[in-house]
Amino acid sequence: MEKNKMNRREFFKKGLQALFGLAIAGTTGFSLFKTSATETVWQIDPDICIQCGRCAENCVLSPSAVKCVHVYSICGYCDLCSGYLRTDPKELSTGAENRLCPAGAMTRRYVEEPYYEYVIDESLCIGCGKCVKGCSAFGNGSLFLQIRHDRCVNCNECSIARECPANAISRISSRNPYIMKGAKI
């Protein structure tokens, strides 16, 4: 009698064990239908980005893994750069009273009359997007924010994406990990 009971218990346990195993395997197997060979990384779509400045504050890294990127092929090389200077500057000098970047990460270099080159020092850039805002509002939009993958730790849930009011951040294939402007040019 006692032995019988044990057997029944064993049988019950085995059954449950198999069932649980199958459930886990099934769940995983089903989700495996949706697996991809290529992995994904977080990236900002510059066409959706509204330059609200949250990227600078919400990244788990400090400073943020979001940096301003400059695509030179669409830059107008203006003297009066709306990404570099505050709106309505008193003079086109590089002094702090005219400069837009709060971190002093953007430098300006004379190329030839009347063109100036603007370069971003990534180690100083904090990803606030002030220059991006200026450039997209009045310029060619050659400055824009991108998540830099040498810094990004690829969190399971990106804490900037969660806070992004425009839903501009999503996972894209790690084979093409940047959404660069001016790719069509």
Partner 1 sequence: MDKPGQGKEQIYTLLKNTAIVCGIFSILVCIIILLNYLQLRSANPLNSLKLEELVRLYRENPGDEELKKEIRELDLLIRKAFFTQRWHIQTGGYLFVAGFCLFFASISVSRLLKKKAPRPAEDPAPEKIRISRFLSRVGISVFAGCLFIITLILLYSSDKILLTPGEETGAADISAREYPSEEELFSNWPSFRGAYGNGIAGAGEYPVEWDGKTGKNILWKTEIPREGFNSPVVWENRVFLSGADESAREVYCLDAGSGTILWQVRVDDISSGSPDFPEVSPDTGYAAPGITTDGTSVFAVFATGILVCLDFDGTLLWKLDLGVPDNMYGHSSSLITFRNMLYVQYDRADKAELMAVDTANGNILWKTKRDVLTSWASPLIVKDNNRSEVVLNANPVVASYDLSTGKELWKIDCMMGEVAPSPAWGCGYVYATTQFASLVAINPETAEIEWEYYDDLPNVASPLAFDPYILIAANYGVVTTFDCRTGDVLWVQEFDEGFYSSPVYANRNVYLLDMKGRMNIFQLSGEYVSVNSPELYEDTVTTPAFSRGRIYIRGKHHLFCIGGGE
Partner 2 sequence: MKRMTRILVFSAMLIILFSALSSVAAEDRFPRPEFQSEYELPSTTAPSPQDNLFSYIDTAVLIILLILTSYFALKMRTRTGIFICSLFSLIYFGFWKKGCICSIGSIQNIALALFSNTYVIPVFVALFFALPILFSLFFGRVYCAGVCPFGALQDLVAIKPLTLPRWVENTLGIFPALYLGLSVLFAATGSGFIICRFDPFVGLFRFGATFEMFITGGIILLIGVFIARPYCRFICPYGVLLKWASALSRWHVTITPDECIQCKLCENTCPVGAIRAPSPALEVEKREVGVKRLVILFLILPFVMAGTGLFFSTISHVFAQLHPQVQLTAQVLKEDRNITRTTTDASDAFRATGISLDTLLNQTDHILSQFHLGAGLFGLYTGLIIILAIVKTSVLRKRTGYEPDREACVSCGRCFEVCPKEQVRRKKGKEHG
- 149 interacts with partner 2 by CB under 8 A: yes
CA dist 81 and 84 (Å) reads 5
Q: How far is the CB of 144 from partner 2 (least distance, A)?
A: 10
Q: Name residue, tokens 């195993």.
A: 21
Q: Which residues contact 113 (CB under 8 A, 6 or more apart)?
A: none
The number of residues that bind partner 2 (CB under 8 A) is 77
- 141 interacts with partner 2 by CB under 8 A: yes
- 152 interacts with partner 2 by CB under 8 A: yes
> What angle (nearest 5°) sits at the alpha carbon of residue 42, between those of residues 40 and 44?
135
Give which of partner 1, partner 2, none residue 56 binds (C-beta under 5 to 8 Å, depending on kind): partner 1
**Which residues of the chain form contacts with partner 1 (CB under 8 A)?**
53, 56, 62-63, 86, 90, 95-97, 99, 102-104, 124, 126, 128
Element (H, E) at 9: helix 2-32
* Interface pick for partner 2 out of 56, 66, 69, 101 (rule CB under 8 A): 69
* Interface pick for partner 2 out of 11, 73, 102, 121 (rule CB under 8 A): 73
CA dist 136 and 47 (Å) reads 10
